[in-house]
Amino acid sequence: MHSTGKVVVASQHYPPDHSTTASIMSDIACRLARDHQVVVLSGTPGGLPGALNGPGKPHVISVKSRITEKAALVRRASAEVLFALRTFVALTKELRRGDVVLTVTAPFMLPYAVAAAAKLRRARSALIMHDLFPDVLVMAGLLKPHSIVTALIRAANAWMFRALDAVIIIGRDAEARIVSYRGVKHGKVRFIPNWATIVPFLRPVSFENPFRRVIKARFVVGLSGNLGFTHDPEIVFEAARLLRQETEIHFLLSGWGIGFERLKQLQAEWGLPNVTLVGRVEDAELETFLAAADVWIIPYRKNVTGVSVPSRFYNLLAIGRPVILVSEPDAEAALTLVEDRLGWVVGPGEPEQLAEAIRTAFRSDDKAMAERAVQVASKFDRHAAMNAYADLVGELLCSPRVPEPK
């Protein structure tokens, strides 16, 4: 059954924005544009890179957006609500019956606007579930588990999940949370994991690495990326404090967001000699930076299972490095670590356990762990993910419902 409907991608983050979400959404939009007419509603101002312009590429329409600092909660929330409303209006003008609209969970009000507009215009809709609200806010301590606001968001979710034609999860652990909402069946949920943005092959540890050259210690523990509300940077700093007398181990900490600001505050207070702080590393230097550490830490707060999946995880494996994950054992990244023996899982809020895991990594003689990491990263393939998105959108364009997976 052939469909002449088009695909609309709604995302606040899109090139020239350099965020992970922008990169993912542009990759998906460009892949879909090979087979369909694609329109992107983008909340990022500025000109597109040349590679995203021209025939066969998505047509980008700008939606006015005011992206605020992550710590400015009230201003950020109001800006996100306003962007969601503007996107809703744009979608009611752009969508036609039989079209498909694809969106993502950032900002958190956007999926509701997309689902409502699709319902109104008799289009089909799909959501890429990067973070699950209100669970993320509860996990970060910003909402109480049984507050009125939490209950209202869950009620809105119940309607939204029923209205959506497909919910795309990037971690296996998310499905149970999605189908726990009344009326949401397993067949609506599709698992399409993210992928490594760095070509997987083993980068040997080199003391000539520019990020490592000034570090005298033999073993480097790394932390990199956005440290948002779901992350716990303090457990990393506390582990560094516990290990400050073990001079062969050094911490190389980089990133941005409220968590990295907290790390800077802690280092200003303690001045630990075994900690080096590096500002946000540009994309051109990311591969070199990731190769500078012997092991990497991803620190989550409690209750991450089914709520958030660390996209940086795949790049750490692609470099050929083991990972120490602070998380519950049934979270997506923890399942992968244990199944393929790629590192260590530490309970949230347990800095002594983290320090001991770092000691274990320092003493480890499992040389094959790095090779296994590269092999696993190769399975999380961009080409396979793009084809999975293309297949799903093709189904949505040609049928009123997503068929149950076989």
What end-to-end distance do the CA atoms of the chain give, in Å?
20
Q: Which tens digits make up the pLDDT trace of 267-299?
A: 999 999 999 999 989 888 999 999 999 999 999
301 and 328 co-located in one domain: yes
The per-residue b/e assignment along 190-200, b for 16 or more CB within 10 angstroms, e otherwise, is bebbbbbbbeb
For residue 11, is it within any domain?
Answer: yes
As a residue count, the chain comes to 406
Contact status, residue 1 vs residue 398, Cβ threshold 8 Å: yes
Return the closest-CA partner of residue 167 out of 400, 6, 392, 5.
Answer: 392
44 and 185 co-located in one domain: yes
67 and 144 co-located in one domain: yes
> Among 44-53, 69-78, 79-88, 196-205, which stretch is predicted with the lowest mean pLDDT?
69-78
Q: Which CATH number covers residue 184? A: 3.40.50.2000
How far is the C-alpha of 363 from the C-alpha of 366, rounded, in Å? 9
Instruction: Look at residue 72 and give its three-state secondary structure.
Output: coil
**What pTM, to 2 d.p., does this model score?**
0.86
248 and 188 co-located in one domain: no
75 and 157 co-located in one domain: yes
DSSP line for 18-70? -SHHHHHHHHHHHHHTTTS-EEEEE---SPPPGGG-STTSPEEEE-------T
Q: Angle at CA 93, nearest 5°, toward 88 and 97?
A: 100
357 and 389 co-located in one domain: no
Return the closest-CA partner of residue 325 out of 261, 231, 242.
Answer: 231
What band does 406 get if pLDDT is binned at 50, 70 and 90? very low
Print the domain residue range for 135: 7-195+381-398
Q: Which tens digits make up the pLDDT trace of 302-321?
A: 988 888 877 789 999 999 99
Mean pLDDT of the region 41-56:
83
pLDDT at 391 over 50: yes
For residue 176, is it within any domain?
Answer: yes
- The number of distinct structural domains making up the chain is 2
47 and 185 co-located in one domain: yes
Q: Which residues contact 147 (CB under 8 A, 6 or more apart)?
A: none
DSSP line for 138-197? HHTTSS-TT-HHHHHHHHHHHHHHHH-SEEEESSGGGHHHHHTSTT--GGGEEE-----S
For residue 94, is it within any domain?
Answer: yes
Q: Which tens digits make up the pLDDT trace of 127-161?
A: 999 989 999 889 888 899 999 999 999 999 999 99
373 burial level (CB within 10 Å; 0-12, 13-18, 19+):
buried
Q: What are the backbone dihedrals phi and psi of residue 276, each rounded to the nearest 5 degrees, phi first?
A: -120, 125
Q: According to the per-residue pLDDT averaged within each range, which of 2-6, 80-84, 142-146, 294-298 is highest? A: 294-298
Contact status, residue 294 vs residue 220, Cβ threshold 8 Å: yes
Tell me 228's DSSP state.
-
Give one word for 308, left, alpha or beta, with left for phi > 0 and alpha for psi -120 to 50. beta
Alpha helices in 243-367 (DSSP H): 258-270, 283-290, 312-319, 332-340, 351-363
